[in-house]
Structure 1
Amino acid sequence: MTVTELELRETLAAVLNRPTREIAGDANLVLLGISSLEIMRLVSRWRRQKLPVSFEALVTEPTLDQWLAHLNAAA
């Protein structure tokens, strides 16, 4: 299962309570307000969908572009 940029952007917009257009591909998601708890919840959700994502990878490079690359590499 691959994740599209639009799907990820919509997921993050819901978590961050921001319009999708405000989430630039290279913006630091932590600075936009995502917490480690929210990241863990997303990891759990994606793992239930059979995506073997790494919490550490998401925390290390917290941008939409990097997350998209990681999610699709994991798929």
Structure 2
Amino acid sequence: MTLTVQRMREDVADVLGEDPVDIPVDENLVDYGLDSVRLMTLVERWRREHGADVSFADLAERTAIEAWAPLLGART
């Protein structure tokens, strides 16, 4: 299964307990409650479900979906 930006929004919303429409793709997700534990949950989920070859540090550098999409090879 290919990872998409929409799937990323849904996964982020899931770990934050929010509605996906409330998750922006271009803003710092720390402002929405993303912390290191939740970020690690996302990294592990995307590795397991989508074969993503990305590290926690890669995603922690810039915490916006639009910055993650190229690293994860996500389709828009």
Query: What does residue 41 of structure 1 align with?
Result: 41
User: Which residue matches 1:54?
Assistant: 55
Deviations 1:4-27 (A, max 9, x none): 111111111111111111111111
Which residue in 1 is equivalent to 2:8? 8
Unaligned ranges ≥5, structure 2: none
Q: Which moved more, 1:45-54 or 1:2-11?
A: 45-54
How much does 1:45 deviate?
Answer: 2.2
Corresponding residue pairs, total: 73
Over the matched positions of the two proteins, sequence identity in percent amounts to: 40
Name segments (4+ residues, structure 1) moved above 3 Å.
none
Name the TM-score, length of structure 1 as normaliser: 0.83
Q: Judge conservation of contact 1:16–1:33 (CA < 8 Å) in 2.
A: yes
Query: Offset of 1:44 from its aligned partner?
Result: 1.8
Q: Distance in 2 between matches of 1:65 and 1:32?
A: 15
